[in-house]
């Protein structure tokens, strides 16, 4: 099963499918450790019994007769055999093997034994696994023709039935405890997961119960910290959706506000022209209709531009602000020449790369140049300046026209706002378009009086690329 298929499961099922097998693996590891610990514990306990039997035999070894004599503690061996729940074997021999008493074929020690230090090993005797305890000590005299250091080796062995039963009991006891822990842990885990996911259930119910027109942000106070980034992302999407709805509502309001009166006037003027028998006066009426249609078309285009600036997808790219300003300015040279206006560009640098949407930025700059050329008197001056201020590329359009009264500058950029000193017809949307474009790019628009407090200077700031 691939990762995507896992992600289609519910969180509860995913956690259980991942955690329960993990718990089983831990239990398997714990059982193996328990078995090893039990074997070590059984060996430690039963090896002490083997050592006790060895010591008992050692205490009954005698060399007084010149040979090796052993008086076996039969009662102790019988008792030891009972406690071992199996067979018990022994072997007493000199290290050179000349004298052997007991089970002579009992497996010999794997290597030389240290004097006075017992050694315990596992072996197989007649096909059955056994545990052998081996012990070597010095004899107080040589036996017969022995040369060198005389030592006797004592071995006692037992079958592993009792040890295995002891180990099995410990492992089964641990297994029962672990099964209970798994059941209790899985149950607790299911309860905890269900409790932890309750906020998500409440969130789902809250979202499903909302009215279609409700675009308020989702409260994040009672949302778990792990889910909060998702809810915040949803709120961010909701806010963008709200802005789209508001932009659509603003466009409808603007259209109804700006087009109702011109259309009514057009209908009245057309009706007057149809009733007018004088051809000259009819021509005057049609000329007035043409002017009103041109103004209505311009207002409609501006409203569409504003709606586009408010809601268009902002796919930005690096572009040269100096080159864009020069290109847009050249497009307005004929209009400036018709009014005898000196229109030019004054860049503070050769190139200035900004991160912007080319068409929207061109629309904003065109609106600034249109306003400046329209309101600047004959033989006036309009200058486009391009410079860098900190992390922004700034384009400023400066004119020496009538400007805007200083007390009205804070309102410039509002929809349909027109300064009190304006006499020409207009919609009051040009600066609103410019401000919207600048804000969509993460920048802003700033207005101030022109040089020597004459005219107007409008600046738009766009973040530089990178």
Other C-beta atoms lying within 10 Å of the C-beta of residue 167: 21
Residue reference for tokens 């409700």? 214
| Whole-number Å distance between alpha carbons of 220 and 412 | 37
Residue boundaries of the structural domains of the chain: 12-167, 214-311, 317-463
Q: 112: which 2 tokens? A: 């030389």
What is the pLDDT at residue 322? 92
Other C-beta atoms lying within 10 Å of the C-beta of residue 143: 17
Please report, to the nearest 10 degrees, the dihedral formed by the alpha carbons of residues 315, 312, 404, 447 taken in order.
Answer: -30
Q: Decide: helix, strand or coil at residue 282.
A: helix
* Residues 6 or more apart whose Cβ sits within 8 Å of residue 344: 329, 382, 383, 384
Residue reference for tokens 């796919």? 315
The CATH code belonging to domain 12-167 is: 3.30.450
Question: Among the residues of 149-227, which ranges form H helices?
Answer: 161-196, 198-208
Backbone angles phi, psi at 416, to 5 degrees: 65, 10
- Which one-letter DSSP state was computed for residue 115? B
What is the pLDDT at residue 330? 92
For residues 359 and 330, the answer to whether their CB atoms sit within 8 Å is no
What is the pLDDT at residue 318? 87
Q: 211: which 2 tokens? A: 């009215």
* Residues 6 or more apart whose Cβ sits within 8 Å of residue 150: 94, 95, 138, 139, 141, 142, 143
Q: 151: which 2 tokens? A: 């030592």
C-alpha neighbours within 13 Å on the C-beta side of residue 85: 8
The CATH code belonging to domain 317-463 is: 3.30.565.10
For residues 84 and 42, the answer to whether their CB atoms sit within 8 Å is no
DSSP conformation letters of 13-56 = HHHHHHHHHHHHHHHHHHHHHHHHHHHHHHHHHHHHHHHHHHHH
- Which one-letter DSSP state was computed for residue 464? B
What is the pLDDT at residue 167? 83
What is the pLDDT at residue 323? 92
Mean pLDDT of successive 10-residue segments in the chain (466 residues)? Answer: 55 72 82 83 82 82 68 65 72 78 85 88 89 86 61 87 82 83 81 78 79 76 76 81 72 63 71 77 76 67 61 75 92 90 90 86 86 86 90 89 78 66 62 81 84 84 84
What is the pLDDT at residue 258? 58
Supply the pTM of this predicted model. 0.45
The 151-159 sheet, strands edge to edge: 100-102, 88-94, 151-159, 128-138, 119-125
């Amino acid at each position: 099963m691939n990762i995507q298929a896992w992600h289609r499961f519910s969180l509860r099922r995913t956690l259980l499918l991942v955690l329960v097998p993990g718990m089983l693996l831990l239990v398997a590891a714990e059982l193996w450790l328990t078995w090893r610990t039990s074997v070590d514990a059984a060996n430690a306990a039963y090896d002490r019994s083997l050592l006790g039997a060895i010591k008992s035999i050692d205490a009954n070894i005698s060399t007084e007769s010149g040979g090796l004599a052993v008086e076996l503690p039969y009662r102790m061996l019988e008792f030891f055999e009972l406690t071992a729940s199996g067979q018990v074997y022994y072997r007493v021999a000199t290290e050179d093997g000349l004298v052997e008493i007991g089970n002579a074929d009992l497996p010999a020690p794997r290597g030389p034994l240290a004097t006075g230090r017992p050694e315990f090993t596992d072996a197989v005797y007649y096909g059955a696994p056994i545990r052998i305890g081996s012990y070597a000590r010095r004899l107080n005299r040589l036996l017969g023709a022995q040369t060198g250091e005389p030592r006797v080796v004592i071995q006692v062995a037992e079958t592993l039935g009792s040890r295995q039963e002891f180990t099995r009991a410990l492992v089964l006891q641990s297994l029962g405890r672990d099964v209970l822990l798994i059941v209790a842990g899985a149950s607790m885990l299911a309860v905890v997961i269900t409790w932890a996911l309750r906020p998500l259930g409440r969130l789902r119910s809250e979202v499903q119960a909302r009215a279609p027109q409700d675009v308020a942000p989702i409260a994040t106070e009672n949302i778990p910290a792990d889910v909060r980034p998702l809810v915040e992302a949803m709120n961010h999407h909701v806010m963008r959706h709200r802005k789209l709805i508001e932009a659509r509502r603003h466009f409808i309001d603007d259209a109804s506000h700006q087009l109702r009166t011109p259309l009514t006037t057009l209908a009245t003027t057309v009706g007057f022209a149809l009733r007018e028998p004088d051809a000259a006066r009819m021509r005057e009426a049609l000329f007035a209709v043409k002017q009103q249609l041109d103004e209505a078309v311009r207002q409609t285009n501006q409203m569409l531009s504003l709606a586009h600036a408010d809601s268009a997808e902002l796919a930005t790219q690096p572009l040269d602000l100096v080159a864009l300003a020069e290109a847009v300015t050249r497009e307005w040279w004929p209009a400036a020449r018709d009014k005898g206006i000196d229109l030019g560009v004054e860049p503070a640098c050769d190139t200035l790369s900004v991160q912007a949407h080319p068409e929207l930025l061109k629309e904003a700059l065109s609106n600034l140049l249109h306003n400046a050329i329209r309101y600047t008197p004959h033989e006036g001056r309009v200058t486009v300046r391009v410079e860098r201020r900190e992390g922004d590329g700034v384009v400023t359009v400066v004119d020496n026209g009538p400007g805007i009264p200083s007390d009205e500058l804070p309102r410039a950029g509002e929809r349909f706002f027109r300064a009190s000193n304006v006499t020409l017809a207009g919609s009051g949307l040009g600066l609103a378009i410019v401000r919207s474009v600048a804000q969509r790019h993460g920048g802003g628009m700033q207005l101030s009086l022109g040089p020597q407090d004459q005219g107007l200077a409008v600046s738009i700031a766009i973040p530089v690329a990178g």
